[in-house]
Chains A and B, each alone.
Chain A
Amino acid sequence: MPASLAVIHALGLLTCFALLGTSRIGACIRWLSLQGILFSLVPVVFHDDGLGLRVMLLAGGNIVLKGVLFPAVLLHLRARTNYHREVEPFVGFVASILFGVVALAVSLGLAVKLHPALSHTPFVMLEAAIFLVAIGLFLIVSRRNALMQVLGYLVIENGIFVFAVITVVETPLLVELGILLDAFVAVFVMGIAVFHITLEFGTADVDQLTTLRG
């Protein structure tokens, strides 16, 4: 099993760096979709004692949401908010990738510290979860386009999903469904918000949102 986790880990990290270095929003959304599908497979691989209905439901629901539905919503929004198709970073792409490298090192360090307390979790996934949260946060603060901020939020969401799956072996299904539902609603609410911002401001550039200060 560690072999397949290692593959997910490696490909997952690649999607993160792709998100950091890609300039077209459409391409970013597709990378995010791939990332969502990849990490949805973690519970299937991790629970090697048998593919129960619960695990299948969780993984399946996650793939449908993060691999298909969210990207579809985001792509639709990008089409409606036609003004800016570029990511428009505050921080350049080379600097972003450099941040990714540093974040990877920090995540490794944190995972080494945390792992003794969470000894039953696979180390690579623990590190991946921390890395995803860091990258998501960075995308939110470093990208000018509101859509990219939603993408950043979803990268954090992926990180949390991985973290939840590997640490809490038996969360009640009801709670898991509630969490998935929340993510689902969050994307729609954010989507509607981006839509209204674009209508009102003529752009999804959050650098324009500067009326309120102090």
Chain B
Amino acid sequence: MQTGQPIVAMLALVVLGAVVCLALRRPRHILRATVIVSALELGLAAYLWIAVLADGHVTAAEGWFYVDPFSAFHLVVLSLVFLLCSVFAGIYFADEAGEHVFSPTVARRFGALWLGSLAAMTLVLVSNNIGIMWVGMEATTLLSAFLISLYRSRASLEAMWKYLLICSVGIAFAFIGTIFAAASIQSGSDVQAEALFWTRLAAPDAHLDPTLIKFAFLFILVGYGTKAGLAPIHSWLPDAHSQAPAPVSAMFSGFLLNTALYCIMRFVPPVRNTLGSGFADGLLVFFGALSILVAAGFIVFQRDAKRFLAYSSVEHLGIITLGFGLGPLGTFAALFHTLNHSLSKSLAFFAVGRLGQRFGTHDMGILSGALRGDRLWGLALLGSVLSLIGAAPFAIFMSEYQLLRAAVGTEAWVVLVLFLAAASVVFISALRHLIDMAFGDAKSPLIAMRQRLPGFLIVMPALGILLFLGLWLPPWLTEAIGRAASVVGVRS
């Protein structure tokens, strides 16, 4: 077994980075610092991933930190999304104008909260103790709330208040679930100190109390589900996403939602071991399918591009949840979809954010002719939204296809039909907007802005990866995702 120093290093590095951001004076330096820290995090996460794939798992701090293929995969996606978002933040905030001035005070607040959120999410992913995992999740809410209202406009304050209150209550419910889970292990167990350890909870011989673990999962699903944006408890999500600055929205959709879903999935193996797979899978499929349907319904009526992307996140998180409920093949598809969605959605928010700055609006009726007006970000918008609605040959097409195969394999016919119907609705209504936004005639003159090199450096690789993964899934990645899936996808 490897030593867990990289885990501790990851946490220490971001916390240190957050403190450094508070001390720096110039906004430019702060934005650079966040990029450097995220890049180092990505390096550490990749190192951990390789170590975990070689040895099975890595632990640190006497078992309090524990990284297995499932968490290592999420860590890599998290740091990748964060790196992209940090680079984009440098481009986006440099050109903020009007009342949205990125002053040193705002920059310091942004830097500290941004890296603080990264620290909290990392803590969630590396904790073996479900209590600490909960603490990390609550910390993400508290730290990221003020990222939404970075500029303190009326609408952003409203969105922030909704987010803060709804998610705090949701997370409180998740805590009740955590207590139920801890209580379920007590009957017949004498190792009290490890009662909150996931490794203890998910052990095949854990002998959990069936009633208590059932209650636990219900509370966990509703609680963390609120944060993951699962319908019908998603109401905070479109407001928060539409009001937050674009890099923040990208980070929310790109990974914050997945962190909450990750927490739910940690509780699935113990539930399956105790109650069989029907209970947990049924609930996952139900909430997944419901989210897809509700999101599809709302997407039709959206005019604001960021709200459109927000509802698309509800849809895709629903797809991932659905996949987790469809057996081993579905779990594989769900994890592959996590990577694809995180990349596509952050890229889409970048493009909409940047074009929003140049058009001065996020209204999809006015935001038209992007390809001609701004080639790079127009292309990013076109590529990412095509990817999001599942057009071939982008990677999301492949993961959705695998998900359909999983649905056929488990004979979930109702789900299959609902999913296809909702996906078609989303495809058609999104394409209608997209054609205008990308190819239409410009309705207003664009605000001139310098094209920045980092823009190319995030758009091209991201689009490249999405295309590449849509055409060919390398065997090592298949192996890595498969190993991650087996942590939560084994049926008893």
Contact = CB atoms under 8 A, between A and B. Distances in A.
B215 A114 contact: yes
Given A167-B182, A171-B131, A186-B138, 6 more contacts: A156-B169, A179-B175, A186-B142, A211-B154, A212-B155, A214-B298
Given A153-B168, A172-B196, A117 B209 contact: yes
Interface in B76-130: 129
Contact of B182 (A116, A168, A181, A206): A168
Interface string A168-201: 1111101100110110011001101100110011
Given A171-B182, A179-B135, A201 B172 contact: no
B310 to A, nearest CB: 11
A214 B298 CA distance: 8
B152 interface: yes
B172 A156 contact: yes
Interface of A: 114, 116-118, 133, 137, 140, 146, 149, 153, 156-157, 160, 163-164, 167-172, 174-175, 178-179, 181-182, 185-186, 189-190, 192-193, 196-197, 200-201, 206, 209-212, 214
Interface of B: 129, 131-132, 134-135, 138-139, 142, 145-146, 149, 152-155, 157-162, 164-165, 168-169, 172, 175-176, 179-180, 182-183, 186, 192-193, 195-196, 209, 211-212, 215, 238-239, 242-243, 298, 301-302, 307
Contacts of A214: 238, 298, 301-302, 307
Main secondary structure of the interface of A (DSSP, over half): helix
25 contacts: A114-B215, A117-B215, A137-B169, A157-B172, A167-B179, A168-B183, A169-B186, A170-B192, A172-B129, A174-B132, A185-B139, A185-B142, A189-B146, A189-B164, A190-B165, A193-B145, A193-B161, A196-B149, A196-B152, A197-B157, A200-B157, A201-B157, A209-B162, A212-B242, A214-B301
A206 B135 contact: no
Contacts of B162: 209, 212
Contacts of B155: 211-212
Nearest to B154: A200
A18 to B, nearest CB: 22
Contacts of B149: 193, 196
Given A164-B179, A182-B138, A190-B164, A196 B212 contact: no
Q: Which residue, B134, B138, B183, B193, has most C-beta atoms of chain A within 10 A?
A: B183
A192 B113 CA distance: 15
A206 B242 contact: no
B183 A167 contact: yes
A212 B182 contact: no
Contacts of B182: 167-168, 171
A57 B473 CA distance: 54
A153 B169 contact: yes
Contacts of A192: 146
B436 to A, nearest CB: 20
B192 A175 contact: no
A206 B158 CA distance: 8
A168 B168 CA distance: 22
A193 B186 contact: no
Contact of B159 (A114, A168, A212): A212
Nearest to B184: A117
B165 A149 contact: yes
B172 A171 contact: no
B312 to A, nearest CB: 15
A213 B160 CA distance: 14
Contacts of A156: 169, 172
Contacts of A171: 131, 182, 195-196
B161 A197 contact: yes
A156 to B, nearest CB: 5
Given A118-B212, A197-B157, A175 B139 contact: no
A120 to B, nearest CB: 8
B24 to A, nearest CB: 23
A210 B157 CA distance: 11
Contact of B172 (A114, A160, A189): A160
Contacts of A196: 149, 152, 157
A140 B161 contact: no
Contacts of B243: 212
Nearest to A137: B169
Contacts of A168: 179, 182-183, 186, 195
B196 A186 contact: no
B120 to A, nearest CB: 11
Given A175-B131, A175-B135, A200 B152 contact: yes
Given A117-B209, A189-B164, A169 B135 contact: no
